[in-house]
């Protein structure tokens, strides 16, 4: 596994919007699905995006890399139709965001190649 993915801690989470879809963000001009590794990162993202008011969100939890990769593999084509081809870990303003193509993450964590 590439070093850039090995430092991602688990469990990690999707933040689900009110419509049930995961939060997405633009990173370097690329639309990416957001993955967070802890409550502090979630709180910082929500405050930056929605302001300091408290906001309830649902989370989808992943305990292992293989779980996240499986969900991404099942969703990759649908996400691509929405021009969302990347995954971004802890995307917070003012910090360098680790992001990569979803297909690359799947291939390196689950040993699965998508066409």
In angstroms, rounded to a whole number, what is the distance separating the alpha carbons of residues 5 and 29?
21
Predicted local confidence at residue 54, as pLDDT: 66
11, 35, 38, 39: which is closest to 22 by C-alpha? 35
DSSP β-bridge partners for residue 22: 16
In angstroms, rounded to a whole number, what is the distance separating the alpha carbons of residues 37 and 82?
24
Predicted local confidence at residue 59, as pLDDT: 92
- The answer to whether 100 touches 86, Cβ cutoff 8 Å, is yes
The confidence band for 61, taking pLDDT boundaries of 50, 70 and 90, is: very high
Predicted local confidence at residue 1, as pLDDT: 43
Torsion of CA 75, 16, 89, 79, to 10 degrees: 30
Predicted local confidence at residue 83, as pLDDT: 92
The confidence band for 77, taking pLDDT boundaries of 50, 70 and 90, is: confident
Predicted local confidence at residue 3, as pLDDT: 55
Check whether domain 3-110 has CATH 3.80.30.20, yes or no: no
Query: Is the pTM here over 0.85, yes or no?
Result: no
The confidence band for 111, taking pLDDT boundaries of 50, 70 and 90, is: low
- The answer to whether 78 touches 102, Cβ cutoff 8 Å, is no
């Amino acid at each position: 596994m590439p070093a850039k993915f090995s430092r991602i801690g688990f469990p990690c989470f999707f933040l689900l919007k009110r419509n049930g879809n995961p939060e997405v963000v633009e990173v370097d001009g690329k639309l990416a699905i957001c993955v967070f590794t802890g409550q502090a990162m979630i709180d910082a993202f929500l405050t930056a995006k929605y302001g300091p008011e408290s906001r309830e969100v649902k989370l989808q939890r992943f305990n292992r890399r293989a779980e996240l990769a499986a969900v991404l593999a099942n969703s990759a084509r649908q996400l691509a139709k929405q021009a969302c081809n990347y995954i971004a870990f802890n995307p917070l303003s003012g910090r360098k965001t680790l992001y990569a193509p979803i297909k690359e993450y799947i291939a390196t964590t689950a040993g699965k190649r998508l066409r």
